[in-house]
Amino acid sequence: MSAGISIAAAGKSFGDLEALTPITLDVAPGEVVTLLGPSGCGKTTLLRMIAGLETPTTGSVSVDDEPPAAARAAKRFGFVPQSPALLPWRSVEANVRLLQDVNRAANAPSLPDPLVLLDAVGLARFRNALPHELSG
């Protein structure tokens, strides 16, 4: 795969605890993928590895043919974790716009419009909703 997200036998262990069994997955640019599974199965661990916030114990993860941390540092993607990181008093749109509000330097024209991002994941119609009004 020449761009997008490439996960090659990436797994994560914390000591003796295997948090994520090795997984292989390629996601093309613009493709929407859902991670679905019970609590504790490794969904968040995988997302954190894709975002470069965790390093795989086995295998590798790349974003646009680079390590995730490099893609994140270049501000080519963002990561918004599920509650409690969401600010409950801010609307969905305001939570997505939080980076721009906090980091004025990030308010560059190259950043995608939050409404475009919400539309891409099917949440544009909920832009004024509060986090507790949405399903997890």
Domains defined for the chain, CATH in brackets: 5-72 (3.40.50.300), 80-133 (no CATH)
**At residue 112, what are phi and psi to the nearest 5 degrees?**
-70, 150
pLDDT over 90 (residue 125): yes
Q: How far apart are CA 54 and CA 46, in angstroms?
A: 8
CA 130 to chain centroid, in Å, comes to 20
Q: What is the pLDDT of residues 2-49, one digit of tens each?
A: 579 999 999 999 899 999 999 999 999 989 899 988 888 899 899 989
Predicted confidence band of residue 112 (pLDDT cuts 50, 70, 90): confident
- The pTM for the full model equals 0.61
Higher pLDDT, 4 or 89: 4
